[in-house]
Amino acid sequence: MARKRTDPVYIWRAILQAGGIDAYIEAQLAERGVKVEKKETAGMSARELEQYKKQLRAEAEERKKLKKEAWKAYKANHIVHLGEGVYWNDEKRQDKWDVAHAEERAAENELPPLDTPPQLAEALGLTVPQLRWLAYHREAATKVHYYRFTIPKRNGSERPIWAPLPKLKAAQQWIRVHIVEKLIVHGAVHGFLPGHSTLSNASVHRNPKIVLKMDIKEFFPTVTLPRVKGVFRKAGYREQVATLLALLCTEAPREIVHHGGKDYYVALGPRCLPQGAPTSPGLTNTLCLRLDQRLAGLAKKYGWRYTRYADDLTFSLPKAHDGDPHVGTLIGLVRRIVEDEGFAVHPDKTRLARSGGRQKITGLVVNGDLKPRVPRKLRRQMRAALHNLQCGKPLKEGETFARLAGYAAYINMSDPNLGARMLETFKIGLAATVTTNGEQTAEDK
């Protein structure tokens, strides 16, 4: 019984059964024999008055303890607060911005029923305080739930990647599998979808007369918290759950500032989709449904084909097309539609490739009637590496078996005969390298 009296879950159940916190406290005071019946003190003797005051102090002390326990129990079962600038209300009521018949819509989308924060926490394998901890927003934080690193861009600059730490990553993986991947996306989408790839994306554009490629600028950072929350509300979740889901899937772009011997992660802008979270690509796919519908319709109107791979927009005019291709009109209208949908076309990344030169789409060459293929230069480099290994020569400086195996897998996607042969050789080399490193590590220990 003593343990139950300090268990927040047990206490909260007792509070609900009592009819609220105040009623629970009054009942507990009576049960513990410290509740004092209020009396007039005018006719009391000094001894009686002192005894009465002593009883009141004991009641006040017990009431203070009970309030503290009740607040602890409340926080164990409610979100309470989610940080600076985040609206939250623990009352379970319908919000005016909730979609009509939200639960029915969620069921139609075959989404798990999540009506309250405790239900979401349970689905994610978390307690309510843990859920609050993962979703909480701070403008300046000493710790965040992401690990930051950078990867080089083709132009030589660095792309920051924010990879979620294990507990948040597990929550995001659950959201991706059970919610995001069940939402509707357009058929022109080929990025980050089962059964789709850079090959399926390029295959739509085989034997083109003209290839037009355009990029969306700052794709993930443009998708901010309100837009992500809107995706979950439209899917069939109400205000509270949609807010928590959106917070779990977003983070503010941050700069690491050193001050007073501490590192602070300072927010540089609003929360948005992080590049590195497993939920980010799928959320952009479903959020861009209307954008893809409009661009696909525009392409069809002028005789072009359209696909999107993440932030890469690709249009191609079939070889057999006769007449005016309307290139200038198409570019202008694409920009207008992209801006109308809350994005922007990157001004320096619009490329036009005609059939006289090499035409590449998501890294694969699409010229002619052949299926999309890896550029000849890469195939030659890989054949040379394979030949050197077969002749017993060491890898070139900067080359690794892991990198070569990755390229071989890429080639295998479009050319299984060549790719499988390379992949087998480089995987054997990679396995041997890992084994050797492991033996060396053991000896060092």
Q: What pLDDT is attached to residue 230?
A: 95
Taking only the tens place, the pLDDT of each residue in 410-444 is 899 988 988 888 888 787 766 666 555 554 433 33
Mean pLDDT of 164-178: 98
With tokens 């009521």, the residue in question is: 93
231, 289 in Cβ contact below 8 A?
A: no
Tell which residue, 172, 378, 359, 431, has the closest CA to residue 283: 172
Q: What pLDDT is attached to residue 440?
A: 40
Q: What pLDDT is attached to residue 157?
A: 77
Distance CA 113, CA 101 (A): 13
110, 126 in Cβ contact below 8 A?
A: no
Q: Which residue has the higher pLDDT, 356 or 162?
A: 162
Q: Where are the alpha helices (DSSP H) in 322-394?
A: 327-340, 376-390
pLDDT exceeds cutoff 50 at 61: yes
Q: What pLDDT is attached to residue 355?
A: 86
Q: What pLDDT is attached to residue 313?
A: 98
Mean pLDDT of 148-174: 88
Core vs surface per residue 371-395: b (16+ CB within 10 A) or e: ebbbeeeebeebeebbeebeeeeee
Distance CA 201, CA 354 (A): 18
Q: Residues 7, 12, 15, 21: is their CA dihedral positive or negative?
A: positive
Half-sphere exposure of 374 (CA within 13 A, CB side): 19
171, 248 in Cβ contact below 8 A?
A: yes
Distance CA 277, CA 265 (A): 18
User: Residues 6 or more apart from 101 whose CB is under 8 A from it?
Assistant: none
Tell which residue, 40, 354, 435, 364, has the closest CA to residue 204: 364
Q: What pLDDT is attached to residue 444?
A: 36
Amino acid at site 71: W
With pLDDT > 90 as the criterion, what percentage of the chain qualifies?
A: 69
Chain centroid to CA 171: how far?
10
Q: What three-state secondary structure class fits 197?
A: coil
Q: Where are the alpha helices (DSSP H) in 124-257?
A: 128-135, 166-178, 198-203, 219-222, 225-235, 239-248
* 418: enclosing H helix or E strand: helix 416-444
Q: Which long-range contacts (CB under 8 A, 24 or more apart) does 67-74 make?
A: 67/21, 67/25, 69/5, 69/6, 69/8, 69/11, 70/11, 70/15, 70/21, 70/24, 70/25, 72/8, 72/11, 73/8, 73/9, 73/11, 73/12, 73/15, 74/12, 74/15, 74/21
User: Residues 6 or more apart from 106 whose CB is under 8 A from it?
Assistant: 112, 113, 114, 235, 236, 237
Half-sphere exposure of 441 (CA within 13 A, CB side): 6
Mean pLDDT of 357-384: 91
Taking only the tens place, the pLDDT of each residue in 245-286 is 999 999 999 998 998 889 999 999 999 999 999 999 999 999
pLDDT exceeds cutoff 70 at 69: yes
pLDDT exceeds cutoff 80 at 445: no
Mean pLDDT of 77-86: 94
Tell which residue, 376, 372, 375, 382, has the closest CA to residue 413: 372
Distance CA 352, CA 211 (A): 6
Burial class (CB in 10 A: 0-12, 13-18, 19+), 268: exposed
99, 233 in Cβ contact below 8 A?
A: yes
- pLDDT band per the 50, 70, 90 thresholds, residue 6: confident
Distance CA 198, CA 106 (A): 31
User: Residues 6 or more apart from 410 whose CB is under 8 A from it?
Assistant: 363, 374, 419
Taking only the tens place, the pLDDT of each residue in 195-241 is 999 999 999 999 999 999 999 999 999 999 999 999 999 999 999 99
Q: At what angle are helices 128-135 and 166-178 packed, to 10 degrees?
A: 100
- Residue 282: count of CB within 10 angstroms of its CB: 24
pLDDT exceeds cutoff 70 at 58: yes
Mean pLDDT of 91-119: 85
Q: What pLDDT is attached to residue 436?
A: 55
Distance CA 62, CA 28 (A): 9
278, 173 in Cβ contact below 8 A?
A: yes
Mean pLDDT of 102-122: 92
DSSP string, 53-83: HHHHHHHHHHHHHHHHHHHHHHHHH-----B
Q: What pLDDT is attached to residue 159?
A: 80
Q: What pLDDT is attached to residue 105?
A: 86
Tell which residue, 177, 194, 184, has the closest CA to residue 123: 177
Q: At what angle are helices 376-390 and 401-414 packed, to 10 degrees?
A: 130
Q: What three-state secondary structure class fits 46?
A: helix
Q: What pLDDT is attached to residue 4?
A: 60
